[in-house]
Structure formats: C-alpha cells, structure tokens
Homo-oligomer: A and B are copies of this chain.
Amino acid sequence: MKSEKTIGVDIGGTKIYAGLVCEGKIIKSRKEKTPESRQGVITLLGDLIDELAEGAKVKGVGLGFAGYVDVEKGEVIFAPNLPGWENIPIKRIMEERTSLPVFVENDVNCVTLAEFKLGAGRGKKNLVAIFVGTGIGGGIILNGQLIHGATYSGAEIGHITLKLNGPKCGCGRLGCLEAFAGGSAIIRSVRRKVKAVHEITKAADEGKKWAILALERAGKYLSLGIANLITILSPELVILGGGVIKAAPRILEIVKEQIPLMALPIAMKGVEIKLARLQDEAGLLGAALGVEQRLGCV
C-alpha cells in the first residue's frame, strides 16, 4: 500500500519540527523550541512521536539531526549546536521508547533527499544540493542514493579549501568555501557593518561599493566551489538554497554567470542549476522519506 504513514522529525539547535507524512504530504505537524538538555530533547521527541502516531498506522520514524550521524548504527556522533550529543545511540533509545523502527540521518541530507524526491530534483538520479545559510552544507545523490562516505561526513561541501592560507573558517581551518561565502563570513567580510545579509543587499542596491564587493567575492568563491563539484561529479543538477541565497539574489546571478566559466566544459554541458523548491518543512519531509527508503517501500 502506498498510503502508509511515516513520521519525520527535524532536530536543529533552535527548533524541533515533527510531522506525520503520507505520500510526501504533511498531514499533521508540531513545531517546538529545542530543549536545552539532551534528556529534554529525548523526552520531547518521544512525546511528539506519540502525539503524531496516535490513531495512525505508522511504519517508522526518521530523525534528522544537525550534526554528524552514523547512519548504520543510528548514532549521533557529534552535533555542534546540541549540547551533550556525542556518541548517543538515539535509534536504540527511541525504538525502545516508541516501539517503532527509527532511522537517523543528517539534517542537510534529509533536505537533499526531500528536494530529490519532491522538490527541484524530481526525476533526476544524480545531483548535488548546496545550502548557504550562516554556514554552508550540502548533500550528494548519485544513482539515486545519498553519499555518506566512510565517516558519514560525506558532502561537507562548505569545507572544501578554495584558497591556501585563505580566511579562517569556523572549523578552525583556512580558506574553506564557508569562510568566503557563508552568511557569517560575508558579514565578517564587511567588518560587521551590518547584522544580516539582506542589509548588504540593500546597501548594494543603493550603490555602496563595499556591499557590492562583498557580494561579488562571496559569489565568486561559491561559484568556484560549485564548479569544482561539477567537474568532479558531473551531476545532472545542482540545487542551490538557504537563507543567504534568498537574502542576496545578486549572489545567485553571479553563480549562474561564473560557474559556466569555471567548471570543466564537458561536465557543464550536462548540468542544470536550480533553486531549492521546498521551504521550512524540507527537513522533516526528508527524514520521513528516509524511512520509506530504508524500509524499501519506495
């Protein structure tokens, strides 16, 4: 039966967004502030799942965490914005609590999976998704499968080094894509003249040179990072999303103009560049879709 239901939960540093999903649609959902303690999060997850599952025949639960996740073991290895989440066997904990099959995935991979199945990537088999927010995250789908890598850190696109001895990144290394084109880095590059990227867009629209240059620099390095992914993987599609892309349309223009000049021409021939289509609910949808993939329903 195709009308089977799954629960998807998107667990971020500030909010937890859970939904009951059927055939790619959210039937019922709940959004909560993320509790401060790990036990608080675990208790809330159990309660949300109980509530959403009530009266529904639920096949399984997908949890998308903002952090490194061991997908096979179902453990959160490390989640920088969730205090105390280090090597936590959350699959086992939640399966005991809910008596449902539970699967764990990285949140950006969930969003990538949602775009692949329901959004900009429908009908494609090979794509790269890049989300530019405060930091930069991404997901890679090849032959219809998420690439996890040996350490489940696959697709850490924000941390490709684009310049030897370049600017310092939040990860401690130098010259990462994120250190050029992530929201925090862009704001740092204008010496914190503003608090948000959309203010830089406004200043650029008013002709302010510093703002124009900041967006150009971010756009140029984002183009370089994406062009390298195209050269390496020759995907059919690159999906671009995230708050910075929305707040700075100029960056998208630069990317569309520069990538074809930077990527290997033969790989460029086969690729489209599209904006992400799904909104805030992409993470929970992807977490739910992950359950269907793992249980082999789709």
Q: Cα distance A142–B142 when bound, in Å?
A: 9
Most buried by B among A154, A262, A271: A154
Verify if A149 is at the interface (C-beta below 8 Å from B). yes
Indicate which residue in B151, B156, B231, B270 contacts A270 across the interface (CB closer than 8 Å): B151
Verify if A275 is at the interface (C-beta below 8 Å from B). no
- Asked whether A264 lies within 8 Å of B150 as measured between CB atoms, the reply is no
Verify if A126 is at the interface (C-beta below 8 Å from B). yes
Q: Cα distance A171–B235 when bound, in Å?
A: 20
- Of A27-35, A91-99, A222-230, which stretch is located at the interface? A222-230
- Asked whether A153 lies within 8 Å of B234 as measured between CB atoms, the reply is yes
Contact with B along A154-182 (1 / 0, CB 8 A): 11110111011000000101000000000
- Asked whether B266 lies within 8 Å of A236 as measured between CB atoms, the reply is no
Contacts of A151 in B (CB 8 A): 234, 266-267, 269-270
- Asked whether B160 lies within 8 Å of A228 as measured between CB atoms, the reply is yes
| Contact of A149 with B220 at beta-carbon distance under 8 Å, contacts A156-B267, A264-B159 already known | no
Copies per assembly: 2
Verify if A233 is at the interface (C-beta below 8 Å from B). yes
Contacts of A155 in B (CB 8 A): 232
Distance in Å from the Cβ of A296 to the closest Cβ of chain B?
16
Q: List 8 A-B contacts (CB under 8 A).
A: A148-B234, A150-B267, A156-B231, A160-B228, A161-B224, A161-B231, A164-B224, A171-B264
6 extra interface residue pairs, beta carbon distance < 8 Å, beyond A149-B270, A153-B266, A157-B232: A142-B147, A154-B267, A156-B234, A160-B231, A160-B232, A161-B228
